[in-house]
Amino acid sequence: MVDSSVDAIPSFRRQTVVSVVESLQDATADAVAVPVVAGGELPSELGVDLAALARAGFSPEVGQARSFPRASGPALVAVGLGELASLTAKCVRDAAAAFAAAVPKDANLATRVPVLAGLAVEDAAAAIVEGVLLNRYRFNLRSTAPEEATVETLTLIAPTEQAAAVSAGAARGHAMARAAMLGRDLAMCPPVVLDAAKLADVACELAAASGLEIEVFGMDELAAMGCGGLLGVNRGSDRPARMVRLRYVPSDEPVGRLTLVGKGITYDAGGISLKPSDVSHSQMKNDMTGAGVVLASMTVLRELGCRAAVTGYLMCTDNMPSGKAMQLGDVLTMRNGKTVEVLNTDAEGRLVMADALALATEEPVDAIVDIATLTGACLRALGTEVAGVMGNDPNVVQPLIAAGERADEPLWELPLIRSYRRQLTSPIADMTNMGGVNAGQITAALFLEEFVAGRPWAHIDIAGTAQSDAANRWINLGPTGFGTRLLVEYALAFAADRPSVST
């Protein structure tokens, strides 16, 4: 059996040294990236012309990379950057990922940091580090070592006058990549490795290392707090639920107060509404991605100098069928006193998050953001590359979309159509946990809105983006950790535009 301790999580062991030097001679590298701009002058160190590169199957487009091994010294890798006028951090990140993929067995990589008009060298350095490390991310529970090498060192080459900016960008990119890899690790872990209690243990270790305050709430405390949604979903399990509350407090007066809520279903069998026995069922270890990315994002807030106070709720349990399990027609009483008739036990994510959303409103807060692998409807609507976002305040939704653009974790706003609220009407309770057969992502968001008490709020549905069926650019096969870097970007830019709402 796989070790069920936190030591089984690779992020607790994974280390990459990122450094900045002035020249290639100062770098210890197995492979060196040589950026090639379309229409630009070909770097002389390649020793070939564009015609020779073309014969080798290379064109200077983003995503193109060709390795040229040498008799001595590191391999040189031509890396396409595309047209100079259209270069963005996204292009540089994708190009860096292509470089890493071109030399999968090399552990020590180096690259020049290109000087690009319209893109700060600090942002280019950050994008390079993210692209390389995220492309070469691997999660391995095999008894043998993988053939592909972990990146042990990544060296950025830049002139002395740019060294400070490149170093700052590299440090930021390194923190972002580590957070994203942690988010992936948590979602990758099988439920035997990471159940609710073990996830709380991991959170305690990470909080201690990241300067976060942490509280863990067990079954008795959850009952005393009236968290009927989390406890209802947990009823069919032999493993106890946990709620984890994390707090990041900046060293100076906070510019705002942000609360993040993550769905932490460590394995979702569907409860009595059992899922079909197909490949999607085997992926349900990733149904805690929301909680995983909230935890992962918060681990780097102090390192990156976040100026907002951030609270995170991880709502953790599995959702299993048994003789004790929540039944169709049951009525649950939630933290805020609302009663919910359960029409589908596989619509459990909204139940566990509802308790946390209610708790979030009991403290001063400027914005609440929840994130969850919530609905197949969102997957059907937007596919696997774009997540849905809905909310009651454009001052929350639009900055989230902007943060997603910076992270290349895109969001698309879907409407909260208020008339659809009638689909949640129950004849015996305040509401049901399930709407009709259509617009399921919208009715799910309308359900969650019932628990935010009018506070500025947005809901991110990552049901489609949390899992990838193929490796692409810097996105890995399997659980992607989508939302980690987006939430970090959002928290770093967060500032309240209104007085804190008090209860």
3-state helix vs strand vs coil in the chain, percent to 5: 35, 20, 40
Domains along the sequence of the chain with CATH: 6-182 (3.40.220.10), 189-493 (3.40.630.10)
33, 71, 275: which is closest to 157 by C-alpha?
A: 33
Q: Residue 112's closest CA among 23, 30, 185?
A: 23
Q: Which one is catalytic: 178, 184, 257, 350?
A: 350
307 is catalytic: no
Integer CA distances (angstroms), 68 to 58, 132, 149, 469, in order: 11, 18, 19, 30
Which three-class secondary structure state does DSSP give residue 347? coil
CA 46 to chain CA centroid, nearest Å: 37
Is 275 catalytic? The answer is: yes
Q: Which of 275, 307, 406, 421 is catalytic?
A: 275
The letter for the amino acid at 171 is: A
For each of the chain's 503 residues, which pLDDT tens digit applies? 344 455 656 655 567 899 999 888 888 899 999 988 887 778 877 878 788 888 888 888 999 999 887 878 899 999 999 888 788 999 999 999 999 999 999 999 999 998 877 889 999 999 999 999 999 998 877 777 777 888 999 999 999 999 999 999 999 999 999 999 999 999 999 998 899 999 999 999 999 999 999 999 999 999 999 999 999 999 999 999 999 999 999 999 999 999 999 999 999 998 899 877 666 656 788 889 999 999 999 999 999 999 999 999 999 999 999 999 999 999 999 999 999 999 999 999 999 999 999 999 999 999 999 999 999 999 999 999 999 999 999 999 999 999 999 999 999 999 999 999 999 999 999 999 999 999 999 999 999 999 999 999 999 999 999 999 888 999 998 899 999 999 999 999 998 754 344 33
Structure tokens at 223: 């009952």
CA dist., res. 276 & res. 4, Å (int)? 27
